[in-house]
Each structure stands twice: as structure tokens, then as C-alpha cells.
Structure 1
Amino acid sequence: MTLKLIYPALAMILWIFAVGIILAVRRRNAFVSGEVRPEEVAVSTERYPLGARLASANFSNQFELPVVFFALIMLAMEVAATGYAMAALAWIFVASRVAHTLIHIGPNRLPLRGAVYGIGVVVLVCMWAGVLLAVL
């Protein structure tokens, strides 16, 4: 049943929206507090305070690995690779992205963030292998 994969895909989309809201709030707070003026960030975002820059970087990250995730979800549904293992992998990927965001916009510990990112990559490779096995 493809619903097993639709739910983590919808959860990932919701998380992207959540990160976008975090970014908007942090940028708004920077303007309201006077830390930055619109003309200072009209061309480059370097003048935003660290929290806003981290949220911006993480929002950009949501259009990197998750693009592969969404492609794999669609391929898995097309080739009927929609079992519990694929669904579990999809949920693990979503959890890895949530954890990555919380680390990135929080303490931003690079070794921990990199490890969580790596988990997401390994999960995507496993999902890819699952799709490949379904078509062989």
C-alpha cells in the first residue's frame, strides 16, 4: 500500500514548511530588534545575525538530500517497493532531517551534524537499493 510512503513524504514537506517558518521568524526578529536593516541584506544575507544565517542555511539544505528522498518515494511507489522496510527507511530519513535541523539551528556541532547527515545519506542509499531490487 503506497500510503505507507505518502505519510513520511507529507511529514518531510511539513518539516520543510516548519524550517521556512523558523527562518522567517528569525529574520523578522533581526529586523524588529534593529540588528539588521533591509538595505544591509538586500544583496547578501551575511549581515543577518548567526541564528538567522543558520536557519537560512538549513532551509537551503532542505532542497538537497530531500530532493533525492522525494524521487525515491515516487520511484518506490511506481515499482511497488512499498513494504514496511521501505516505509521504515523513509521515516528514519525524515527523523534524520529533523535531527539535522535541530542540531544545525541549535548548537551547530559540526561532527554531530555531519554524523546525522551521514545517516540520512545511508538511508537514501538503502532506499535506492530497495527500488533497484524491485525492478530487477
Structure 2
Amino acid sequence: MLTLLLLTMSVWIYMYIRRLSFLFTKGIDAQELQSPQQLQQVIPESVNRPAYNLANLFELPIVFYVLCLLAIFTNNIDASLQYLAWCFVVARIIHSIIHCSYNTVIHRFIPYFVASLCLWSMLIITVLAYL
């Protein structure tokens, strides 16, 4: 969980580095960015990629955090859950690197899909442990 949280923080920092350097370089007044629509009109997609990835890190990873906390609080941590959790995190790191950089969709989709399979497998294992 901590590794995924560190990834989220890193993407957040990178997002601000990209955005602020763009704004300072282009001499854009922050007041021109009052709404998300204005922000998207002023800042190009390539600069906004980390912001899109940051938003993505608050979607499926929320399920990951809940499953991890559930496993910890119920003391239901086995090798398969640990393996799947690490696979999920590594795949999300790869996904973020691709998403924040060159952003080829099929390249980004593969680690996203692998991470999703790991996550849903973690959920199934957790549900089966309670049956």
C-alpha cells in the first residue's frame, strides 16, 4: 500500500512540475485556469497527462486499498494475496510511467489490464475466504 501511495505522491509532484513549468515558460496567468474547462483549453494534453494519471490513481486503486486493509484487519494475508498485491502495484507503476510519458494506449492498456486481473483475483480470493 505504501508503494502505491508513494507512486500517487510522485505523480502529483510530477503533475505540478509539468504544469507550473509550462505556465511560467508561457507566461500564463493562473487566473486563466479557474475551471477544468479553461485548464484543458490552455494547457496541452501532453502537459496534462500526469493529471489524468493522478485521477486514474483514485479509481481502481481504491478497491486495492480496501482489500489490503480488510486483509490486514482480518489477519487474512496469504502468499497469493501478497503476490497479487505486488503484481498490481508493479503493473500500476508501469502504467503510470507510460501514461505520464509517451502515452501509447495499447502499451498503457496492457499493464492496466494485468493490474485489473490481479485486483479482481484479490477480491475473489478474499470473498472465498469468507465463504
> Is residue 124 of structure 1 aligned with residue 119 of structure 2?
yes
Q: May I ask how many residue pairs the two structures share in their alignment?
A: 128
Unaligned runs of 5+ in 1: 1-8
> Is residue 48 of structure 1 aligned with residue 40 of structure 2?
no
Instruction: Please say if residues 79 and 131 of structure 1, whose CA atoms lie closer than 8 Å, have aligned partners that are also in contact.
Output: no
Code of the residue aligned with 2:62 in structure 1: it is: V
Q: Normalising to structure 1: TM-score of the pair?
A: 0.87
Q: Which residue of 1 aligns with 2:3?
A: 11
d(CA) in 2 for partners of 1:113, 1:76? 29
Code of the residue aligned with 1:14 in structure 2: it is: L
Higher helix share: 2
Q: Which residue of 2 aligns with 1:96?
A: 91
Higher relative contact order (CA 8 A, sep 6+): 1
Code of the residue aligned with 1:114 in structure 2: it is: F
Deviation of the 1:83 alpha carbon? 1.3
Deviation of the 1:50 alpha carbon? 2.6
Taking the TM superposition and a 5 Å limit, the aligned residue runs for 1:15-94 are 15-34=7-26, 36-44=28-36, 45-46=39-40, 47-94=42-89
d(CA) in 2 for partners of 1:29, 1:133? 49
Q: 1:83 to 1:43 in 2, by over 3 A?
A: same
Q: Deviations over 1:58-80 (max 9, x none)?
A: 01001001101001111222333
Q: Normalising to structure 2: TM-score of the pair?
A: 0.90
Superposition RMSD in Å: 1.4
Deviation of the 1:132 alpha carbon? 1.2
d(CA) in 2 for partners of 1:55, 1:68? 21
Q: 1:79 to 1:23 in 2, by over 3 A?
A: same
> Kindly, what percent of the aligned residue pairs are identical?
28
Deviation of the 1:35 alpha carbon? 6.1
Ranges of 4+ aligned residues in structure 1 off by more than 6 Å: none
d(CA) in 2 for partners of 1:48, 1:132? 44
d(CA) in 2 for partners of 1:36, 1:51? 17
